[in-house]
Structure formats: structure tokens, C-alpha cells
Amino acid sequence: MPQVRIPCVPDAIEYAPKWALALGMIEDALRAKLPKGVVLADADYGTKTVFRDMLHVLGLQYAVGVQSTNKLRVMDAAGVLSERIERHRAVPLVGADGQLLGAMLPGHDEDDTLTGQVLLENLACKATASLALRHLLARPGAIAAGDVRYVINCGEEAVGDRYQRGGGNVAKAVAEWAGCGRATGSDVKAFCSGPMHALMIAGALVRGGLHDDVMVVAGGSLAKLGMKFQGHVKHAMPIVEDVLAGFAVHVSRDDGVSPILRLDAIGRHEVASGSAPLAVVKALYSEPLARVGLNLLDVDRFSLELHNPEATEPAGSGNVPLNNYRTLASLAVVEKLIAREGIDDFVRTRGMPGFSPTQGHVASAVPYLGHARRGLTEGRLTRTMFAGKGSLFLGRMTQLPDGLSLVLERNRANAGTA
Amino acid sequence: MIDLRGKKVIALGERDGVPGPAVAECASRAGADVVLTLTACYV
């Protein structure tokens, strides 16, 4: 009988090895609080150093077979780390004093999307997003973790394996770590405009009645730590990009106090909007405002790119917030709302200095959200506008940028206060 | 003033300034043959 080949099926597909499957089952058993016994396994498992190391990490005793050719070495912690780095391609984690503190093992021998470096970046993103959500849930009056039903993650990392590099749903992993046992979720990806899309979708889910409470979260970008270090070193200054950022936002039904997210005034950079600077700001600012009978001067404060210029200017990237505010002010001139001489005043009174770490999507408008909430509830603000821009072209699938803007207003029930 | 007619042009733009496609459009209308368009993001 002739051999039949189906052309769309590859010749060999590598599945998880038996030791990895066993390890997963052992971890499941520990999570289920089963009593810890001694792990027994034959040499097929016992010869795998990673398997034995993980049993040790899990606090389990074990008796496993080995082959007669196996060499046994007694190593201290530093020796274990060194071996993982040298033999298993683990990424070394080195402290500021140069001391080796740990190592991040790859998740697979051959999968480039599961290298130690990739996993470390994904873990940093998950950890910082989880921390932000846990902080939010710990605030006085916050929703109980168990009542959260949906989480949207808009962090930048694409979590997956080589067959689905952007597989996603870090949101659910974050919800798990934050104790949101009844939540599910999904990821929203749109480069640095991701947070705006996520907030819009969260608002729509609440407005549509599907969920009463939606959490929008994002973790930090490990890859952006020291991103512009050459400029800092060149100017004999500290490498200031030394912090991972994260945020969590609770979008809920109208409580009569919190600011209102205007879903009728969403600014959209569309496929046909073009990439000329004025065309972009028109799509993001004046068009959505005009749709609800407003103009640029009806907005007390705009939140755009908020990257701290102390990090960007020494590297030759300029003052990003200031450049964007001046472009927006130019739109106000074109629309005859202010005179050309009023550009500086517009920037000063309706903008703000960049104060965010250069953590990409996190720096994109969101850092002002908490301040806006306070100003719109306890302060004198009436209306704020947030706009994020996404550099879609960096992925080489299009030349298009992206952008989305949102308007946040004082709650009408709260209009008489402050 | 540079005469771009018949010239090969690589259009390099910047997201928070003038993006690549806008540079390419200007060069193209000035008679250039735009062979590559790229936009950088510095943040």
C-alpha cells in the first residue's frame, strides 16, 4: 500500500516530554492540597536535571532512577545556577553588585518563543499587572476580588508558544494571581493605544449590561528598562529607565460620583484617516468632540504621551509630550479657536509635563487617569481627554499608526460639588 | 531646494513628528521614486 502524505501536516510535531507532563500533574496535585509523598520515577525521568531540580524547588523528596553513565556532582546554589546557565541556556539574573541571584530557565528546548528571556519578560509583565490589580483591590471600598467577573489586559507582551506566538490571555493569569476566582478575561493588543481600546471595550461591556465591573490592567515592559541607556551614559547621568510600571482601572456602572466615560465621543484613527500629523490629531480630538457639540477649548486637560523628557532628551528623542501638545495646539490654531501666539498658553494650561517612565503603553495617556479622577470628583475639572497612539508599523504588517481617544467627564450627579 | 524628480528616495519618518508615509507622499508628489518607507518610534 503506498504511503499517503497529507501536505498540510508537518512531518514531525514535538509534544511535551513525559517528564514535563508528570511535573504538571505533580504541580496540579500540590495545588489541590494532596498530601506530599515521595516522588518515585524511573530513569527516563530521573536523568532530566530540570525534573529533579523542580521537585527540589517544589519541596518534594524523590527517589528516581538514573543511568549508569550519569555523573553525580554535589553543587551549592551557585553551582546549580551556573549549570542552568551554561548547560540549559537559562538567563542569568544579576544584582546591582554583580552577584548572581537567579536564572530563568527556558520553557522548551527548541521553542524560540519560550526562551528564558521571553519568559522573563512575560513574567515581569504578569507580575506587575497583578501587583497593580492587587493594590487596587486592597483600596478602601474596593470591589471584592471574588466579585470581579472580567479582566482585560492591555500589556505589551505576546504570550504564547511557537505555534501561537500571541496566544494571549495574560488577563486570566493576572486574575488568578489577584485572587479573582470568578473572573475570566482576554487581552487587547494595539501597541501603545491598547489601553485606550481596552478602556473603551470595558466601558462598552458595562454599558451593554454584560458585566457590572470590568478591570483593565497592564504590566510593565522589561525590554524597555535601560532602553535609552546610551544617551544617559553619554551625558554622565544615571540610567533613569530603571522601573517597571503597571496599572489597574476599575470600570463600573454609574455610581453617581465617579467620572463618566463618554462612549459617544470616542476618537478613532481609522484606516483612511492618513498619517499626516494634523490628520491624526483631528481624528483623535476635534472630530469626536464636534460629534457631541464640543471643541478643544471645552476640555480642561488633555492627557497624551506622558514620557518623562528626562529619559528621552539625553537620548536625542526630544520632549515627546511637549511635541504632541504643540501639534494639538496647532490644530486649535487651524480651527481658529486660538491665535498662533496662544500656542504656549494652550500647552501650559491644557497639557502637562511628561512624568511617566518610558514604559510604552503605560506612558500613553493612562498615568493621568488617577489624577483626572480626583480632579473630576473632588477638584475643579469638568472634562478631560485621553489619547493613545500605537506604532503598528513597528510590526511590519502595515505602514499605519493607530490611535484612540476617550473623554472623561464629571458625573452630572456630582456637578454641584467642588 | 532639492530637485527630487527621478531620484530614488528612502522615506524615514517618526511617529511623534512626521511619519514615513507623509514623507513618502511629499517626495512622491515632488517626482521622486520612493523605494522604502519606514517610521520609527522613539518611545
Q: What is the mean pLDDT of residues A193-199?
A: 98
Q: Name the residue type at position A244.
A: L
| pLDDT tier at A418, thresholds 50, 70, 90 | very low
The string of pLDDT tens digits covering residues A249-274 is 999 999 999 999 999 999 999 999 98
pLDDT in tens, B13-25: 998 888 999 999 9
Provide, as residue numbers in chain B, all residues whose Cβ is less than 8 Å from the Cβ of A360: 43
Q: Which residues of A135-174 are buried (b: 16+ CB within 10 A; e: fewer)?
A: ebbeeeeebebeebbbbbbbbbbbbbeeeeeeebbbbbbb
Query: Where do the DSSP E strands lie in A5-49?
Result: 39-41
The confidence score (pLDDT) of residue A198 equals: 98
Q: Where are the strands (E) in B1-43, listed by range?
A: 8-14, 33-40
The arithmetic mean of pLDDT across residues A360-378, rounded, is 96
What cell numbers appear for B40 in the block?
520609527
Contacts of residue B16 in chain A, CB cutoff 8 Å?
305, 318, 320, 323-324, 389
Q: What is the CATH number of domain A119-414?
A: 3.40.47.10
pLDDT tens figures, A76-133: 778 888 888 999 999 999 998 999 999 999 999 899 999 999 999 999 999 999 999 9
The mean of the pLDDT values for chain A is 92
CA distance A312 to A304: 16
pLDDT on residue A68: 86
* ipTM associated with this complex: 0.83
Domain range summary for chain A, segments of one domain joined by +: 1-92, 119-414
Q: What stretches of A131-231 adopt beta strand conformation (E)? A: 150-153, 184-187, 213-218
A vs B: CB pairs below 8 A: 54
Is A409 in a helix, a strand, or coil?
strand
Q: Which CA distances in Å does B1 have to A96, A121, B23, B26, B30?
A: 52, 48, 16, 14, 11
Q: Decide if B19 and A320 are in contact by the 8 Å CB cutoff.
A: no
For residue A37, report the phi and psi dihedrals to the nearest 5 degrees. -105, -170
* pLDDT higher than threshold 90 for residue A173: yes
pLDDT tens per residue across span A44-89: 999 988 899 889 888 899 999 999 888 777 777 788 888 889 999 9
**Residue whose entry in the numeric block shows the C-alpha cell 458595562:** A206
Q: Is B10 helix (H, G, I), strand (E, B) or coil?
A: strand
pTM: predicted TM-score of the whole model, two decimal places: 0.84
Average of per-residue pLDDT across A275-292? 94
pLDDT at A165 over 90: yes
Query: What would the DSSP string read from start to end of A284-338?
Result: IIIHHHHHTT--GGG-SEEE-B-B-HHHHGGGT---HHHHHHHHHHHHHHHTTSS
Cell of A266: 470616542
Chain A hits for B21, CB-CB cut-off 8 Å, are: 274-275, 399
Q: Is B34 on the interface with A (CB under 8 A)?
A: no
Among B15, B18, B25, pick the best mutation site for testing chain A contact (most A Cβ within 10 A): B15
At residue A352, does pLDDT exceed 90?
A: yes
Q: How far apart are CA A388 and CA A381, in angstroms?
A: 21
CA distance A8 to A5: 9
Percent of chain A at pLDDT above 90? 81
- Helix (H) / strand (E) element for A248: namely strand A247-252
Q: Which residue of B lies nearest to A277 if distances are taken between CA atoms?
A: B18
pLDDT over 90 at A191, yes or no:
yes
pLDDT at A8: 54
* DSSP H or E segment with residue A200: helix A194-207
